[in-house]
Amino acid sequence: MIDIHSHILPGIDDGAQTMDDSIHIAKAAVEDGIHTMIATPHHKNGKYDNYKQDIIELTAELNHQLHIHNIPLTVLPGQETRIHGDMMEGIRADDILTLNNLGHYVFVEFPSDAVPRYAKQLLFDIQLEGYQPIIVHPERNKQIIQHPDILYNLVSKGAFTQITAASLTGRFGKNVQKFTHQLIEANQAHLIASDAHNTESRGFCMTDAYEEIRENYGESMVYLFAENAEYVVNGENLASDSPSRVKKKKFLGIF
């Protein structure tokens, strides 16, 4: 499996704190069936700033350590950028790192409780600049859960989304789990990833999440998610169907 979202790089955010932690996380990833992982440390989230060049260098160092420890995992550079007013300047200044540094996909994180008013325009500007924004874990955003049309409108305008494996397996509660399913059913989820921070409370769950997808939607949906992860790693176009709105009635019945 390919995992496109993780906090495996040591000592630069709230994920792995030391290289030993990183090795430990890498072993857990391999155990869960992951062979390729994009390291996506936080950037501009108010607590952590991690610029492109630093991430690339630390990723190379981690790969060297993985090689020494004989761990069959390849880590690629990436970044989880919190949406901020100066994001376009960051992109133009080459501070923002696209996934696998291919100049194609940019992770965009919203604050956990809201979607800024300028999000729509910014996601549009990112696309005008030639990049594809991927909204990370929208299923955990309070405002999106309450007003799912916010996400529908962004996806309709070309943004992609990445849901969290542990959301599908229930780690973030029943409501988030059900909402995640609704996003899949509405073609508003294009990728699935672990967002792993450690091996305990925020681990991988990728095998279990893919099993949940298989049980609910069959092998073709498993294939779609797996293939899209590969497209991200290769900087190719994602497969997607036209999104539909999350059905409000059903939605209100759940919350």
Residues that bind Fe ion (CB under 5 A): 80, 195
CB of 81 closer than 8 Å to CB of 107: yes
Residues 6+ apart with CB under 8 A from 63: 74, 75
DSSP class of residue 20 equals H
Closer CB to Fe ion, residue 32 or residue 195? 195
Q: How many CA atoms lie within 13 A of 210 on its CB side?
A: 21
Q: How far is the CB of 211 from Fe ion (least distance, A)?
A: 22
Closer CB to Fe ion, residue 8 or residue 246? 8
Q: How far is CA 216 from CA 20, 178, 212, in A?
A: 37, 12, 6
Q: How far is the CB of 244 from Fe ion (least distance, A)?
A: 27
CB of 196 closer than 8 Å to CB of 7: yes
Closer CB to Fe ion, residue 11 or residue 72? 11
Q: How far is the CB of 40 from Fe ion (least distance, A)?
A: 6
Q: Which residue of this chain has its Cβ atom nearest to Fe ion in the complex?
A: 195
Q: How far is the CB of 167 from Fe ion (least distance, A)?
A: 12
Q: Amino acid identity of 75?
A: V
Distance, in Å, from the CA atom of 39 to the CA atom of 107, rounded to the nearest integer, reads 12
Closer CB to Fe ion, residue 109 or residue 212? 109
Closer CB to Fe ion, residue 52 or residue 246? 52
For residue 226, with 0-12 CB atoms within 10 Å meaning exposed, 13-18 middle and 19 or more buried, which class applies?
Answer: middle
